[in-house]
Structure 1
Amino acid sequence: MSDYSLISDYKHIETYKESFNDLAMQVFQLNFKEWYNKGFWNDNYVCYSYLDGDQVIANASVSKMIVNINGKDYKALQVGTFMTHPAYRNQGLAAKLMNHIIQTYEKEYDFIYLYANDTVLDFYPKFGFERVQESSFCLLASDLKKQVGQKSVLRKLDVENEADYFVMKEFAAKRIPVSSRLGVKDSEHLLMFYFLLAFRDAIYYVEEEDVIVLLEREDDELHVFDLVSKKPVDIEAVISHLVLPETAIIHFHFMPDSENEKIQSALMITTDDVLFVRPSLKMETEHFRFPLTSHA
């Protein structure tokens, strides 16, 4: 390997930040610029990158998380944004970054976790990560126990609108975990990433429940990606505002807080994001799922 330099935590260094973004655009077609220009690259998101001169050629980032499982907080570190410039691949840079991150953080955190696509499933076990199978959660609309008499008007939020953006920012800063069974705290930087990039056109405010919902509809299916609230909400009351006459099934992309025994759970056989954890994570239930909007 050539004499590349390893740098980290360079959110205030414009040259490196721009180069990081150039690499993300090339590898993932993701533009972080609006996200970090608005101030959401905070101390909870740290990049570890190799430089060739002033160019970021390989990166792995960590997100410092508080994961709440059944009321208990865990210090967790999520590794993500693994990327290597095509001209610098097959030099072991990703492995060196992973080893450095593990050595830096493993004694400080309860567990380290990450999500991987199916092209690199053999890579992470080499570093002591164990593959963990998550579950899907869904509910037939006909099995909703709570129906509201008067549906709240869904107001679509626009990140370009100053008032709407203020609402999103406030909710992201003050949100509580989406589920008491498995949720995350202090993840404003991640949620704003989803608001600004991933779900920019799928953000709605339910005034009656004072909650922001990330949702998409696909024929007779309703996909609920997140419920962002500053106080506990009745999930079925919120959902009842969202269902349309043609809605047949609701898919939850998190572990729903509900006692409705009709909620169906099943191990996810096929998924674009495979969970790996180090050391192994012992859950009290067979079926669980980290909230989608907590994926880094």
Structure 2
Amino acid sequence: MKCSIHGSTYDFYKNYQQNDVLRDRLNLLAGNTFGGLSFEKWYREGYWTGKCMPYTLFDGNDCAANILASVFPVVLNNEKKTYLQLGTVMTAPKYRNRGLVRFLMNEILKDQKDNCDAVYLYANDQVVDFYPKFGFTEEREYQYSRPVFPKKGSIRKLQVDDPGDRNIMEKRIPCGNPYTLIEMPDSTEFVMFHCLTFQKDNLYFLPEYDAVVVAKQENDTLHCYGIFCEDGSHLEDIFSVAAEENCSRVCLGFTPKDSCLFEAEQSEEEDTHLFVFQGKENIFKDNKIMFPVLCRT
């Protein structure tokens, strides 16, 4: 539809990901804004579903501004909720400071806020003063870590483009992560986005535990972003097998269901700030938790 913003006319589209022309323009802006980011492989391989809705303004052939609105089912303490995450907020340079993101934000909140229990987003350092204008407040996430003692075991690196390895992933990832406190069931498409992009070199299979592990070791620390399997009884063994010989600590990209053996520290992720919409549910006020990294958009 046509819309007028501060005297200029734009084409406003939402949930249009099946439109090849518009999606190509979105990918171009995403690549220019976020260092080569593209949603094309994710879409072509059938993972981009209606749970992730682009809200975008176009000016002729230009993709001017965009926000993705992603719907997540969430289970916490056996309570089922629906959360809305806003992500990939971007504006082409020549369209900045024209109120385009404000327009998109208002449209999303008008459409979605009454259908969900919470709304949240991640912002970079440059826009921390922007989101409070829409009723968002900054919250702190807490990351959990513990010592790890490496041991030999069967582990194999997965190649996401190998049909056999992809089959393993597509069987295990829908099982979910049995070790996380904040469950996000039916989120395979979002996990696969990370597996196809940012985490494609960090995928492993541990056949003894029938588990797919998304992890990366940096120096003596194993960063474990997710574990996908049916059996939730071998966490310490999975860490030990996934860790390299010089590893002494594991740091989680999710909140553990059983945190008694872990240490919690305030997350200090560079250039990343969590904002939660006021007036809706806010699970961060009284809990030292974090959303699973593999469910960020």
CA distance in 2, matches of 1:281, 1:271: 23
Partner of 1:265: 264
Partner SS for 2:85: strand
Are the counterparts in 2 of residues 129 and 276 from structure 1 also a CA contact under 8 Å?
A: yes
Q: For 1:10, which of 16, 31, 44 is the aligned residue?
A: 16
| Pair 17,233 (structure 1): closer, same or farther in 2 beyond 3 Å | farther
CA distance in 1, matches of 2:296, 2:112: 19
- Matching of residue 125 in structure 1 with residue 132 in structure 2: yes
| Amino-acid identity (%) | 30
Are the counterparts in 2 of residues 176 and 232 from structure 1 also a CA contact under 8 Å?
A: no
CA distance in 1, matches of 2:156, 2:286: 36
Are the counterparts in 2 of residues 190 and 294 from structure 1 also a CA contact under 8 Å?
A: yes
- Matching of residue 69 in structure 1 with residue 70 in structure 2: no
Q: Which runs of 5+ in 2 are unaligned?
A: 1-5
Partner of 2:109: 102
Deviation per CA, 1:74-117, whole angstroms, max 9, x where unpaired?
A: 10110101111111111010111011101111111001111111
- Matching of residue 79 in structure 1 with residue 96 in structure 2: no
Q: For 2:27, which of 21, 26, 31 is the aligned residue?
A: 21
Deviation per CA, 1:246-266, whole angstroms, max 9, x where unpaired?
A: 21111111112335x341101
Task: Trace 1:108-257 onto structure 2 (pairs within 5 A).
Answer: 108-141=115-148, 151-172=152-173, 174-257=174-257
Partner SS for 2:68: strand
Deviation at 1:121, TM superposition (A): 0.7
Higher alpha-carbon deviation: 238-247 or 278-287: 278-287
CA distance in 2, matches of 1:9, 1:193: 17
Deviation per CA, 1:32-53, whole angstroms, max 9, x where unpaired?
A: 2111111111111110000112
Deviation per CA, 1:135-185, whole angstroms, max 9, x where unpaired?
A: 12110225xxxx87xx4311100012111112222333x222454521211
> TM-score with structure 2 length normalisation?
0.91
Partner SS for 2:250: strand
CA distance in 2, matches of 1:282, 1:163: 39
| Pair 169,221 (structure 1): closer, same or farther in 2 beyond 3 Å | same
Deviation at 1:226, TM superposition (A): 1.0
CA distance in 2, matches of 1:59, 1:73: 29
| Pair 248,87 (structure 1): closer, same or farther in 2 beyond 3 Å | same
Deviation at 1:273, TM superposition (A): 2.1
Partner of 1:277: 276
Partner of 1:93: 100
Deviation at 1:231, TM superposition (A): 4.2
Q: Which runs of 5+ in 1 are unaligned?
A: none
CA distance in 1, matches of 2:238, 2:269: 29
Are the counterparts in 2 of residues 183 and 290 from structure 1 also a CA contact under 8 Å?
A: no
Partner SS for 1:126: helix
One-letter amino acid of the structure 2 residue matched with residue 216 of structure 1: K
Partner SS for 1:39: coil
| Pair 270,156 (structure 1): closer, same or farther in 2 beyond 3 Å | closer
Are the counterparts in 1 of residues 73 and 81 from structure 2 also a CA contact under 8 Å?
A: yes
Are the counterparts in 1 of residues 143 and 253 from structure 2 also a CA contact under 8 Å?
A: yes
CA distance in 1, matches of 2:178, 2:29: 32
Are the counterparts in 2 of residues 175 and 231 from structure 1 also a CA contact under 8 Å?
A: no
Deviation at 1:287, TM superposition (A): 1.3
Partner SS for 2:197: helix
| Pair 269,163 (structure 1): closer, same or farther in 2 beyond 3 Å | closer
- Matching of residue 58 in structure 1 with residue 57 in structure 2: no
Deviation at 1:215, TM superposition (A): 1.1
CA distance in 2, matches of 1:223, 1:280: 29
- Matching of residue 36 in structure 1 with residue 36 in structure 2: no
Are the counterparts in 2 of residues 178 and 226 from structure 1 also a CA contact under 8 Å?
A: no
| Pair 230,21 (structure 1): closer, same or farther in 2 beyond 3 Å | farther
| Pair 160,24 (structure 1): closer, same or farther in 2 beyond 3 Å | same
RMSD of equivalent CA atoms: 1.9
Are the counterparts in 2 of residues 138 and 252 from structure 1 also a CA contact under 8 Å?
A: yes
Are the counterparts in 2 of residues 155 and 205 from structure 1 also a CA contact under 8 Å?
A: yes
